[in-house]
């Protein structure tokens, strides 16, 4: 009989990709998920005879692949699958064609593979042919995979959804920031593996690094380190200053695709610039692309507790100025990280599910700027001894805040001890909706509840260790807290604050009984100060001051109006447009001080986006965009950027010039949708005065010619 010769191979990319939920990445090349069969077809010079013809399949990934490292697999053609191992089985013969089902185990290394076939020619001779290449990904649809997520609704959200929202701002002024993840856009899958190949672990030992890519915990930690560039040729360079002249302001990004493509095209030069929401959104793109269910989570009033003592100290002087501190501890207005879904075989039972991963460079973990995975369940239960970086994340959502009056080079008195001011409104996008979901309860028990305080004390004992006995912080916890005050003070906004207008506030003061002064009038002097509030939780120099004298009899209530003129803040705010108004009241009769605070967020003008007709692949879709400048000043150097996976290839940019106060700009343009299904158009208008005027429009695209 003539020797068996291979004529051609068909990897059946189109069919396999659809069965493996990778069709959005394209149908031209084979992209499959581990722990799931895929079928290929081989065409030979004659019919295949299973009794006498012997063929062996060889799959290889990474440099110098070996079976010992798990980066090379050889497996014979058999009639039935051999368990959770590489196998070729369930074949059918049709004339000179052989259809074979290939299976990859749930423990397989992810990455780009070459697939070869070795045909035995008898008498010890054989011929090896390259069948082609394929990419192997994690498989959250398979119960055998460590990233298994048993809900199709959740899989559609956390793997297949290529747009979403990042929540920013302030706990009382939460802003949804639309983001184009674009994990299925052309070339993104290759860039994800390029990121892994530029990691320090790969550069030190490429073969070993590749062999560890079967482990989702390892892959997550590598990606967490590689999204920032503090240790390596990572994707993004962080910048928390205000000079973005050598790159783009973090507020000017509206999607991950442009960032990842720029990084790749630049040979691994970090892209300028990112802050927490950009780092987390890009990591979400990479992890969803690799097949790990991932979401973006925002924590409002997020503690950065560098010394792990579970307390953040804030200082004000007697003029109500919030003082800078030399300590690295801070309370961010908000901080954004990721959660990835996985089984934690490295932890005791009970800590599977969502795990915190944070690519923003805050603290090192095993020598690199990365964070996690930290089990959300471990955080909730205060099990801070469990890896990775659980104490740091626990403090981000649970630290206590102590506010001090500072003067003469020392802390004079405690103005407030807040046990529930950190870790507020922990938020993510709701599944199948554009609404925000509050997930604070998954991180901690209700504030002030017996369970929450019990968990806090357990975590503090573990974190403080030998410092615990002499810790002034724990002494403070055991104390009864601040003493009664004879006056209650509150600051309210008299009307909705608008950028470009004077800001009107009202001080409400009410005399109440206290043990020291149960009756009689109380005199106090309230010194007010307004400062620009930075994203990092710090402030700039005062931009407004005022002093108010009050005398209150028992039971009396007084209101005083305060006005913060536009001229005081017009050139003083950062892109976040946040102002902190603080007041320190000195009570003459007691000599003690009181603090009153009000944070103000100034809303930018709103975009309107309308679509005139039904969206169809390849057919012109007219989009109307309008923006009215509701401010009292012109917006200069306006630029518009449109983005949206499946709607636009890349980005569309336009210069809009200057938008005069009170005027409206109208833009009309045609898009030609590229893919069917739910899509989101994101529009960002930036100006010299305002960086983040952003809007979005959900668009459902039907197939070409659909009735």
Q: For the chain, what percentages of helix, strand and coil (3-state, to nearest 5) are there?
A: 20, 40, 40
164/180 Cα distance (integer angstroms): 7
The H-or-E segment that residue 101 falls in is: strand 97-103
SS3 253: coil
The candidate with the shortest Cα–Cα distance to 259, out of 191, 157, 212, is: 191
One-letter-per-residue 3-state SS of 628-685: ECCCCCCEEEEEEEEECCCCCCCEEEEEEEEECCCCEEEEEEEECCCCCEEEEEEEEE
186-199 burial string, b = 16+ CB within 10 Å, else e? eebbebbbbbbbbb
104/203 Cα distance (integer angstroms): 27
Chain-centre distance for alpha carbon 364: 18
Q: In what order do the strands lie in the sheet with 487-493?
A: 487-493, 503-511, 557-564
Q: Is 26 exposed, middle or buried (0-12, 13-18, 19+ CB in 10 A)?
A: middle
395/400 Cα distance (integer angstroms): 9
670/620 Cα distance (integer angstroms): 6
Q: Catalytic amino acids?
A: 276, 335, 358
Task: Say if residues 597 and 537 touch (Cβ distance below 8 Å).
Answer: no
The H-or-E segment that residue 391 falls in is: helix 390-398
153/190 Cα distance (integer angstroms): 27
φ and ψ at 633, to 5 degrees?
A: -130, 155
DSSP string, 178-204: EEE--TTSTTHHHHHHHHHHTSHHHHH
29/133 Cα distance (integer angstroms): 8
Task: Say if residues 259 and 271 touch (Cβ distance below 8 Å).
Answer: yes
């Amino acid at each position: 009989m003539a020797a068996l010769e291979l004529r051609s191979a068909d990897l059946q990319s189109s069919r396999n990709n659809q069965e493996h939920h990778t069709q959005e990445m394209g149908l031209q090349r084979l992209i499959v998920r581990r722990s799931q069969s895929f079928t290929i077809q081989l065409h030979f010079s004659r019919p295949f005879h299973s009794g006498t013809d012997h063929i062996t399949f060889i799959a290889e990934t990474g440099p110098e692949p070996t079976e010992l490292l798990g980066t090379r697999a050889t497996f014979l053609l058999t009639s039935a699958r051999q368990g959770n191992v590489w196998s070729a089985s369930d074949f059918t013969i049709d004339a000179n064609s052989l259809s074979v089902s290939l299976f990859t185990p749930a423990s397989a290394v992810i990455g780009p593979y070459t697939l070869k076939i070795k045909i035995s020619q008898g008498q010890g001779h054989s011929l090896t042919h390259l069948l082609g290449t394929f990419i192997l990904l994690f498989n959250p649809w398979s119960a055998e995979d460590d990233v298994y997520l048993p809900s199709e609704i959740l899989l559609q959200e956390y793997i297949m959804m290529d747009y979403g929202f990042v929540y920013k701002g302030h706990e009382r002024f939460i802003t949804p920031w639309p983001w184009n993840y674009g994990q299925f856009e052309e070339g993104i899958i290759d860039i994800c593996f390029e990121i892994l190949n530029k990691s320090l672990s790969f550069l030190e030992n490429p073969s070993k690094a590749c062999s560890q890519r079967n482990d989702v915990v390892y892959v997550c930690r590598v990606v967490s380190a590689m999204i920032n560039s503090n240790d390596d040729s990572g994707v993004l360079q962080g910048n928390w200053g205000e000079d973005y002249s050598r790159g783009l302001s973090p507020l000017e990004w509206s999607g991950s695709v442009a960032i990842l493509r720029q990084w790749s095209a630049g040979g691994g030069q970090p892209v300028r610039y990112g802050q927490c929401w950009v780092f987390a959104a890009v990591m979400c793109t990479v992890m969803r692309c690799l097949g790990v269910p991932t979401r973006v989570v925002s924590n409002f009033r997020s503690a950065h507790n560098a010394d792990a003592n579970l307390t953040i100290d804030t200082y004000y002087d007697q003029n109500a100025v919030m003082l800078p501190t030399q300590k690295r501890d801070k309370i961010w207005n908000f901080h954004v990280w990721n959660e990835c879904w996985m089984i934690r075989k490295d932890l005791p039972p009970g800590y599977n599910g969502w795990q915190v991963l944070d690519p923003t460079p805050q603290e090192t973990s095993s020598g690199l700027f990365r964070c996690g995975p930290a089990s959300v369940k471990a955080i909730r239960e205060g099990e801070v001894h469990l890896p990775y970086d659980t104490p740091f994340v626990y403090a981000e959502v649970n630290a206590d805040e102590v506010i001090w009056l500072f003067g003469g080079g020392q802390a004079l008195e405690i103005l407030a001890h807040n046990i529930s001011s950190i870790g507020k409104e922990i938020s993510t996008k709701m599944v199948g909706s554009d609404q925000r979901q509050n997930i604070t309860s998954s991180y901690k028990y209700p504030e002030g509840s017996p369970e929450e305080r019990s968990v806090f004390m357990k975590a503090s004992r573990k974190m403080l260790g030998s410092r615990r006995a002499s810790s002034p912080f724990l002494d403070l916890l055991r104390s009864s807290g601040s003493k009664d005050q004879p006056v209650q003070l509150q600051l309210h906004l008299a009307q909705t604050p608008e950028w470009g207008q004077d800001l009107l506030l009202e001080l409400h003061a009410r005399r109440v009984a206290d043990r020291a002064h149960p009756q009689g009038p109380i005199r106090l002097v309230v010194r007010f100060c307004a400062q620009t509030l930075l994203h990092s939780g710090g402030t700039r120099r005062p931009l407004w001051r005022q002093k108010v004298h009050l005398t209150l009899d028992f039971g009396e209530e007084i209101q005083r109006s305060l006005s913060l003129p536009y001229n005081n803040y017009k050139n003083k705010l950062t892109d976040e447009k946040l102002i902190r108004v603080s007041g320190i009241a000195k009570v003459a009769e007691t000599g003690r001080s009181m603090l009153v605070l009000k944070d103000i967020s100034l809303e930018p003008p709103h975009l309107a986006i309308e679509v005139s007709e039904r969206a169809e692949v390849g057919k012109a879709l007219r989009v109307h965009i309008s923006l009215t400048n509701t401010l009292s000043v012109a917006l200069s150097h306006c630029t518009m950027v449109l983005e949206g996976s499946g709607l636009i290839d890349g980005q569309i940019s336009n210069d809009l010039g200057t938008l005069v106060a009170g005027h409206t700009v109208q833009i009309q343009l045609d898009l030609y949708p590229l893919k069917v299904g739910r899509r989101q158009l994101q529009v960002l208008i930036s100006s010299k005065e305002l960086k983040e005027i952003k809007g979005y429009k959900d668009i459902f695209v039907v197939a070409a010619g659909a009735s």
